[in-house]
Amino acid sequence: MAVAMIEKRTKDGKVVQVIPGPILLLGAPGVGKGTQAKEIMAAWGIPQISTGDILRANIAGGTELGKKSKAIMDRGELVPDGLVNEMVADRLQQPDTANGYILDGFPRTLGQAKWLDSYLSAQYGALPVVAVSIKVGYTQLLRRITGRRSCPVCKSIYNIYLQPPKVDELCDLDGTPLTRRSDDTEEVFEERMRTYDSQTAPVVEHYRGLGRFEEVDGEQPVDAVAAAVMAAVLRLRG
């Protein structure tokens, strides 16, 4: 994996090294946060921290946190802030976060955003986040969610309509049968969208108001979205 430093060209043509720092990927269910986090991780060598993935790993592992979260997630609602903030605080202690990381699916409530802002301000002495919000229309989101499949081993993400594997229902990389998330039904998607509109859309406005925020059109091919997200981060890190 690449070293966690990225190159940026300044207005006068010089190339400077930039530390990626914390990057927030915001957006509704299915906009491509996980897909884009993996693109950035491969390009810049910083980890993806997906609260959804950590919660699902807890469910699979039968932990107390997993037991408390399963029914909430299957209804399309949010796990309580206190549990999620504690989980993120633990993850941010890991040494691989030193030069930056991508927060995917966190913060998702104003309570989580305020917790994160004060946690990072205390750690860095100033708020170092840059936030990129990905935008995709409702009909496309529904197709992305109901068509999503993922590899339980290597975590690659596919879509039976939009990004199908070479062989039906098998991972291109390791041949493992693909799985479908229990919350990826149309009914639960509708509830996740209601939750997003009422609780997470205000978080987008919170970071828009702080500046160091850009919006990207997510209805383009994956590599075009990735290029737009990374260009936005470089501008915001200026």
- Beta-carbon neighbour count of residue 147 at 10 Å? 17
Among 4, 26, 65, 73, binds ligand AP5 (CB under 6 A): 73
The stretch near ligand AP5 (CB under 6 A) out of 6-14, 51-59, 115-123, 201-209 is 51-59
DSSP type of residue 178: P
**Contact between 51 and ligand AP5 (CB under 6 A)?**
yes
The stretch near ligand AP5 (CB under 6 A) out of 58-66, 101-109, 122-130, 165-173 is 101-109
CA distance 222 to 2: 20
Residues 226 and 40: beta-carbon distance below 8 Å: yes
CA distance 180 to 227: 28
211 contact partners, CB below 8 Å, separation of at least 6: none
Residue nearest to ligand AP5 (CB): 52
Cis peptide before 20 (omega within 30 of 0): no
Catalytic residues: 33, 108, 148, 181, 192
**Contact between 165 and ligand AP5 (CB under 6 A)?**
no
Residue with tokens 């702080």, as numbered in its chain? 210
**Contact between 159 and ligand AP5 (CB under 6 A)?**
yes
Among 4, 44, 49, 108, binds ligand AP5 (CB under 6 A): 108
DSSP type of residue 197: I
Max distance between CA atoms of the chain, in angstroms, equals 55
Please identify, using beta-carbon distances, which residue of 39 and 100 lies nearer to ligand AP5. 39
**Contact between 92 and ligand AP5 (CB under 6 A)?**
no
Which residues contribute to the site for ligand AP5 (CB under 6 A)? 27, 29-35, 51-52, 55, 72-73, 76-79, 84, 105-106, 108, 112, 144, 147-148, 157-159, 162-163, 192, 218, 221-222, 225
